[in-house]
Every structure is written in C-alpha cells, then in structure tokens.
Amino acid sequence: KQNSCPETSFYSPVVSRLVPYVPGEQPKIDKLVKLNTNENPYPPSPRVIAAIQLAAQQGLQLYPDPESTALRQAIAAHHGLAAHQVFLGNGSDEVLAHAFCAFFQHGCPLLMPDISYSFYKVYCGLFNIPVEMVPLTEAMCLDVSAYARTDGTSVAGVVIANPNAPTGVGLPLQQVERLLRLHPQRVVLVDEAYVDFGGDSAIPLIAQYPNLLVVHTLSKSRSLAGLRVGFACGQAHLIDALERVKNSFNSYPLDRLAIAGGVAAFEDQAWFEQTRRAVMSSREGLVLALEDLGFKVLPSQANFVFARHPHHDAAAIAGALRARGVLVRHFKLPRIEQYLRISIGTPAHCDALVQALGSVLAALA
C-alpha cells in the first residue's frame, strides 16, 4: 500500500520517489511472545524509571536543553570521549537520517552491503543518494575488498551495520579499519545498534580516523526502545555537521524525559551488564535448541539470530508461529527469503518459541 503513491499536484516530486521503511509488527495485544523487533526482553533499570518520574514532575512546561548536555556528558564519559564528540537524536533512526543528509549527498553512489538494515536505502531515496549494493559473501559475511574503487570513480561514503542486521554477523575491527583506509576522504558510518551483545566497537578508533562515525542506540542493550534515544560518536567536525542539520530540522529532538532516563541508564552499569549478559546467555541456549530442530543458524553477535530450515519454508513457519502466538520476523527479500530473524527473549520466551517451533515443524512435515 505504501509503495503506490497517488498522483496529485499537492505532492512535491520527492513524495512519489519515497519507498518508506515498513517497521516490524507492534501488536496491540500483549499476550504474544514478541520476538520480531529486537527489543530487549528485560525492562530498563529502576533508576531510569525513577529519573523519568522525577523529570516529569519538574519543568515539563519548559523546553529541554537543546544540546542534551547531561546525556552527552554521560555517554562521552562511558566511551572515553569528550562531550563535543557525541551527537544525540530521537532514536538512532533519526541520527542516521541526519548523517545521510550531512555526509552522503555527493551525487555519487553510497556503498552498502546488499543485505543490511533496510532503512539505509530509504534515506537514500529521501535524500536522492545513489546506492551501490555490495554483495555479502556466500557465508553472509562482509567482504571489505569489494568496497575498493579501482576505476577511479568517486563514492559518497560507506555505511555498514556491525554486527550486521538482519544477519547478526560481526565484522572484526581490523576489517573496519581497512574500510576506513579505503575511503579516507569520505565518511564511513558504522551502525553499532547491536554491538553490546558481543561485537567489537569501533569507538576506540575515533581518535585515529577523522572519517569514522559510529552510531549507537539505547533501544537494544539499554532496554529503552520506548524512549527513542540514539547517538553518534565521531571527531568534532563530524558532530558539528550533524548539529547543523539537526538545528535546521528540530532543535529539541530529545525531550526532558528522554534526557533524564538516558542519563540514569548510563549511571546503572550493573543493570546494563546483567541484562546484556542474560541476553547473550539465552542466545547460546537458543542457538543449540534451533540446531536440534534442524535449523542452520548464522553466528550471531546481536540480540537476535538469523536462521533457516533446509526443509521448510520460512514464511510458512513464521505464519504458523504467529497462529500459535509467537511473533518472529520474516523478510520477503532476495537471498534471505528462507531465513527467520528471531529476537532473543527471556528464557521463558525462548522456551515458548522452541516449543511452538517443535509443533509447527511436526505439522509441516
């Protein structure tokens, strides 16, 4: 429905060009086991809730700090950066949008993996950025050498997710560095939405690489998908460009509740460690259980796994799971049509999924 755009003189030409992102289902009933949009199965720290409650009682009639200084400082301190090396947005989706606007509109192609976060292509449509898809290898890994330009033509930059989405496969840091060296005059954006679940963050490379922008979110490892906070880290000249774009769009992307909750999330490291370790440990168990059921599972460094069954259709499995009250994600896209992306839930969620899968596979056999 979203892809057929009516012809009307009211719309500017950009509207008919848009191919909007279709988000995963957010069900209206809460009885489902929801393993389809990579949320954290654990709630945020109680300190986050207390901080939001306090902020709600104080000053909501006033605009928030447009620079979100307290949260920038908290994030900078956590990552060993200065506050002016951190940029904040309303979810990392918004941070990405500003980055695409600020860095990739050069009139030449932006390089990205053929299988990656599908919002990247949407931003290219929004900002009229040509795209060049670089295929993942047979094993669904990123091949850095394929990002070199040997014919002298220009690129607008490079964007990757590490760990990749929806595969969950991570790229070692030396390979990220190779990518940074291939295009020193362009921004290499590394989207690390899932890095806290076992990946290697490129943030320590920022001092060395003026072209590196790393994007993070509080939606996954900090359990705050509902609060909408994302951030980018990079050298000051990159952050300045993002600020210029932001202040040309919305000077107050983060409200007072988000700033207060975000700061509290970074103050409770014990909660962060405990919950992310619980997710990683459930992942290990789930991979074994899926393999027992005959699935081939890609190695995951994220809070989800990407799995296919050699004998059963992925769409049929997803549909049958849904009928049993379990939501997983299926993408009707080339190369990955036979895969399911399953978010890591609590041990009880994972058990419910495995049980449901067992009966679905038996019924399909």
At closest approach, how far in Å is the CB of 306 from ligand PMP?
12
Q: How far is the CB of 80 from ligand PMP (least distance, A)?
A: 22
Cis peptide before 44 (omega within 30 of 0): no
* Subset of 162-201 contacting ligand PMP (CB under 6 A): 165, 191, 193
CA distance 47 to 52: 9
Which region among 86-94, 306-314, 327-335, 353-361 touches ligand PMP (by CB under 6 A)?
86-94
Residue 201: closest CA among 231, 226, 223: 231
The footprint of ligand PMP on residues 127-166 (CB under 6 A) is 161, 165
Give me the least distance between CB of 193 and ligand PMP, in Å please: 4
Contact region for ligand PMP (CB under 6 A) — 25-33, 85-93, 103-111, 322-330? Answer: 85-93
CB 8 to ligand PMP: min, Å: 30
The site string for ligand PMP over 316-355 (x = CB under 6 A, - otherwise) reads ----------------------------------------
Q: First and final CA of the chain: distance in angstroms?
A: 34
Choice between 217 and 282, CB closer to ligand PMP: 217
> Which residues between 224 and 243 bind ligand PMP (CB under 6 A)?
225, 230
Q: How many amino acids of this chain bind ligand PMP (CB under 6 A)?
A: 12
Among 70-78, 88-96, 131-139, 288-296, the segment contacting ligand PMP (CB under 6 A)? 88-96
Piece of 89-97, 168-176, 181-189, 334-342 that binds ligand PMP (CB under 6 A): 89-97
Residue 97 or 353 having the CB closest to ligand PMP: 97
> Smallest distance, Å, CB 44 to ligand PMP?
14
Least distance in angstroms from the C-beta of 344 to ligand PMP? 14
Question: For residues 202-221, which are near ligand PMP according to CB under 6 A?
Answer: 217, 219
**Alpha carbon of residue 139 to chain centroid:** 21
Question: Taking CB under 6 A as the rule, which mask of x and - marks residues 26-65 in contact with ligand PMP?
Answer: ----------------------------------------
Q: Which is nearer to ligand PMP, 289 or 300 (CB)?
A: 300
Which residues of this chain interact with ligand PMP, rule CB under 6 A? 91-93, 117, 161, 165, 191, 193, 217, 219, 225, 230
